[in-house]
Amino acid sequence: MTVTPQVGGPLEELLERCGRFFTPGEISKDLRTVTRRGGRDADVFYRDRWSHDKVVRSTHGVNCTGSCSWKIYVKDGIITWETQQTDYPSVGPTGRSTSRAAVPAAHRFPGTAIHRPGSATRTRARCSCRCSGKPRPASATRCWHGPTSRPTRSAAAATSKLAARVAWSG
């Protein structure tokens, strides 16, 4: 025996009518809309969602030339959202971005994103070999001959298959 679900039965009507006692605001006669009074208190969550502490300029690709810059919005040291930078000079009808770099960082580095943007660019590591001895950015994960200090990984990066982000200690 198959039972078909019934929509709009007496129990459903009773629940809709009793809902007005538990819902703050004024419910319309047809029970379809709720009008709330008291200002813009409901907007607080939405406004807080888009607030941020600082904006950092970054790029997505490891070997990217920097032609596709992104604005990274940071709140409490965590990347909250990002938009593509729009302050480029006009170069004509051709685009400046690549399809690979247009993938948001959350999809390419799940759980291994840098929590303090900007700190990786200030940290410099020296090569242990005598090839050049010039400092290089800490974002470079390997030198031809090897780094002087050992890389350390966060717990999320160690367990992730995409452990490409390495923070250099020292």
**Which segments of the chain does DSSP mark as H helices, in order?**
10-18, 43-49, 105-108, 119-122, 155-159
28 and 67 assigned to the same domain: no
If pLDDT is split at 50, 70 and 90, which confidence band does 166 have? very low
Domain membership of residue 18 as a residue range: 10-37
Residue bearing the bigger pLDDT, 102 or 52: 52
69 and 123 assigned to the same domain: no
127 and 156 assigned to the same domain: yes
User: Cβ(37)–Cβ(44) under 8 Å?
Assistant: no
How many independent structural domains does the chain possess? 3
Kindly report the pTM of this predicted structure.
0.33
Residue 5, in any domain of the structure: no
57 and 84 assigned to the same domain: yes
137 and 165 assigned to the same domain: yes
Residue 42, in any domain of the structure: no
Residue 2, in any domain of the structure: no
End-to-end CA distance of the chain: 72
Residue bearing the bigger pLDDT, 3 or 58: 58
Poorest-pLDDT segment among 55-64, 111-120, 144-153: 144-153
Q: What is the predicted pLDDT for the residue at 55?
A: 92
pLDDT digits (tens, 9 = 90+) for 60-83: 776 666 567 788 999 988 888 888
If pLDDT is split at 50, 70 and 90, which confidence band does 40 have? confident
102 and 114 assigned to the same domain: no
Residue bearing the bigger pLDDT, 164 or 8: 8
63 and 100 assigned to the same domain: yes
